[in-house]
């Protein structure tokens, strides 16, 4: 698609059915709505931290749609759209951000560190690029199982500078792993622009250095992302080799709620991408031109998606925090004696000083 949503080369049109394209659009916009509401909730002190996905929705949905639900996903932190596309409920997103008793992660991590076994999305961790060699290892093990499973590993162009990225690429190539390395090149690693991150030709150009096939794709063209990922997946599993996709996009939002990007880039630059080259508007224009969408549907959907997000949000706010016992479990698979003692000490202390500990807020 071009910036007006017109197919450039009909031979490359994935010719997806209307329902699927509508699903793309609604998932991207639902993500956008959730981002707006949760960003605001952090500003209001309701959650501690948040990271938006503005501008990168195309990379998430395009790639997720090209995979099988059983493919294993290793992410960095800006791939919530992949999880949303796979069906992770809004309640669970909210629960993790609020660290309440419904959080699958048991309230232990900062917001946006999602994970879901059911949706084959490995829990996010804060250190960057650590997932890259892990993803290669997982792909190796899945190759041995012979069950047509691929692994996709997302990371940003900044994380690609980490030693772990070099390690993961080299291992995947030498050990012939069925894996897609998906780099979201969004122009910035917090405040560091790409010309301070690398001097070479981006991330895709590194692939051949490892003996790995690579492609650079317009990350804001959801169909292009879909096509590249689909083909990479097909070949990765058929040929047991890694593929590197570098999706060029732009981080419209701040790095996180702890960042004010006006300190290092102009508002004009951000507006340019927001107005001229946004994955959501490009897809909408495409759908409108095909008669699949109009203003009225847009208005109705905006209301509906906002209501869905608000319902999940309000419910998450009301929910209790996880049990205090959960501070101690899962360090090891079984509670060792010294943690058992620490837990007893904690309860003894807390019960002795209940006026300082709001136990009624916790699901004990």
Partner 1 sequence: MAAAVRFLLKSAACSKASNVTNGVHSGLGPASLRLSPKCDPHSRTQTRHAAHFTFQADPTPTEYGQTQKMNLFQSITSALDNTLSKDPTAVIFGEDVAFGGVFRCTVGLRDKYGQDRVFNTPLCEQGIVGFGIGIAVTGATAVAEIQFADYIYPAFDQIVNEAAKYRYRSGNLFDCGSLTIRAPWGCVGHGSLYHSQSPEAFFAHCPGVKIVIPRSPVQAKGLLLSCIEDKNPCIFFEPKILYRAAVEQVPVEPYHIPLSQAEVLQEGSDVTLVAWGTQVHVMREVANMAQEKLGVSCELIDLQTILPWDTDTVCKVRCSSILYLICVSEEGQFNIYFLFIKSFHIITWAASSSNTSI
322 torsion bin: left (phi>0), alpha (psi -120 to 50), beta (else)? beta
> Pick from 33, 42, 130, 257: which binds partner 1 (CB under 8 A)?
130
The residues in 38-77 that bind partner 1, with binding defined as CB under 8 A, are 72, 74
Of 3 and 166, the one with the shorter C-beta distance to partner 1 is 166
- Active site (annotated) includes residue 149: no
Q: Indicate the angle between helix axes 18-43 and 57-65, nearest 10 degrees.
A: 140
Angle (CA) 218 221 149, round 5°: 85
Of 72 and 283, the one with the shorter C-beta distance to partner 1 is 72
Distance from the Cα of residue 282 to its chain's centroid: 21
CB-neighbour burial class of residue 243 (10 A; exposed 0-12, middle 13-18, buried 19+): buried
Check: CB of residue 260 under 8 Å from CB of residue 238: no
Catalytic residue, chosen from 255, 261, 278, 286, is 255
Phi, psi of 308 (to 5 degrees): -60, -45
Of 135 and 160, the one with the shorter C-beta distance to partner 1 is 135
Of 152 and 228, the one with the shorter C-beta distance to partner 1 is 152
Strand order in the sheet with 243-248: 121-122, 72-74, 151-156, 179-185, 243-248, 213-218
- Active site (annotated) includes residue 256: yes
Q: Mask: binding to partner 1, 175-204, rule CB under 8 A, as x and -? A: x-----------------------------
Catalytic residue, chosen from 126, 258, 262, 266, is 126
> CA 169, CA 173: separation in Å to the nearest integer?
6
Q: What is the DSSP letter of 305?
A: H
Q: Mask: binding to partner 1, 142-181, rule CB under 8 A, as x and -? A: x-xx-----------------xx-xxx-xx--xx------
Angle (CA) 309 131 58, round 5°: 45
Of 138 and 287, the one with the shorter C-beta distance to partner 1 is 138
Number of Cβ within 10 Å of residue 19's Cβ equals 9
Give the nearest distance from C-beta 322 to partner 1 in angstroms: 9
- Give the side-chain half-sphere CA count within 13 A for 364: 12
> CA 93, CA 312: separation in Å to the nearest integer?
9
Any contact of residue 353 with partner 1 (CB under 8 A)? no
Span from 128-136, 196-204, 248-256, 353-361 in contact with partner 1 (CB under 8 A): 128-136
> Pick from 89, 317, 336, 359: which binds partner 1 (CB under 8 A)?
336
The radius of gyration of the chain from alpha carbons, rounded to an integer in Å, stands at 22
Give the nearest distance from C-beta 78 to partner 1 in angstroms: 18
Q: What is the DSSP letter of 180?
A: E
> Pick from 105, 156, 207, 253: which binds partner 1 (CB under 8 A)?
105
Catalytic residue, chosen from 41, 63, 116, 256, is 256
- Active site (annotated) includes residue 40: yes
Give the nearest distance from C-beta 71 to partner 1 in angstroms: 12
The residues in 234-273 that bind partner 1, with binding defined as CB under 8 A, are none
Give the nearest distance from C-beta 134 to partner 1 in angstroms: 4
Q: What is the DSSP letter of 116?
A: B
Q: Which element (helix H / strand E) includes 214?
A: strand 213-218
Binding site for partner 1 (CB under 8 A): 72, 74, 103-106, 108-109, 113, 115-117, 122-123, 125, 127, 130, 132-142, 144-145, 163-164, 166-168, 170-171, 174-175, 329-333, 336-339, 341
Q: Which residues are catalytic?
A: 40, 126, 255-256
């Amino acid at each position: 698609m071009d910036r007006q949503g017109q197919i450039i080369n009909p031979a490359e049109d994935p010719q997806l059915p209307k329902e699927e394209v509508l699903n793309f659009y609604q998932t991207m916009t639902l993500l956008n709505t959730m981002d707006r509401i949760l960003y605001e909730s952090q500003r209001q002190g309701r959650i501690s931290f948040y990271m938006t996905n503005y501008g990168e929705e195309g990379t998430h949905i395009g790639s997720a749609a090209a995979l099988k639900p059983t493919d294993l996903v290793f992410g960095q932190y800006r791939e919530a759209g992949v999880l949303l596309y796979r069906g992770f409920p809004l309640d669970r997103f909210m629960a993790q951000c609020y660290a309440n008793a419904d959080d699958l992660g048991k309230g232990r991590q900062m917001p946006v560190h999602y994970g879901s076994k059911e949706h084959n999305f490995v829990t996010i961790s804060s250190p960057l690029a650590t997932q890259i060699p892990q993803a290669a290892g997982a792909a190796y093990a899945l190759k041995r199982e012979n069950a047509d499973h691929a692994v996709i590993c997302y990371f940003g162009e900044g994380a690609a500078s980490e030693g772990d990225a070099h390690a993961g690429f080299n291992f995947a190539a030498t050990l012939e792993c069925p894996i897609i390395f998906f780099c979201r090149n969004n122009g910035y690693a917090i405040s560091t622009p790409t010309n301070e991150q690398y001097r070479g030709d981006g991330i895709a150009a590194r692939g051949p250095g490892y003996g790995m096939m690579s492609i650079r794709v317009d990350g804001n063209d959801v169909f292009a992302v879909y096509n590249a990922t689909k083909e990479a997946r097909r070949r990765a599993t058929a040929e047991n080799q890694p593929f590197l996709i570098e999706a060029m996009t732009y981080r419209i939002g701040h790095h996180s709620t702890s960042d004010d990007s006006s300190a290092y880039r102009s508002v004009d630059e951000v507006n340019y991408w927001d107005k001229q080259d946004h994955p959501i508007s490009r897809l909408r224009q495409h759908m409108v031109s095909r008669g699949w969408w109009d203003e009225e549907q847009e208005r109705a959907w905006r209301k509906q998606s906002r209501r869905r997000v608000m319902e999940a949000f309000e419910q998450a706010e009301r929910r209790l925090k996880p049990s205090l016992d959960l501070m101690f479990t899962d360090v090891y698979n079984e509670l060792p004696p010294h943690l058992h003692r620490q837990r007893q000490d904690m309860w003894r202390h807390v019960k002795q000083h209940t006026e300082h500990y709001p136990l009624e807020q916790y699901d004990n």
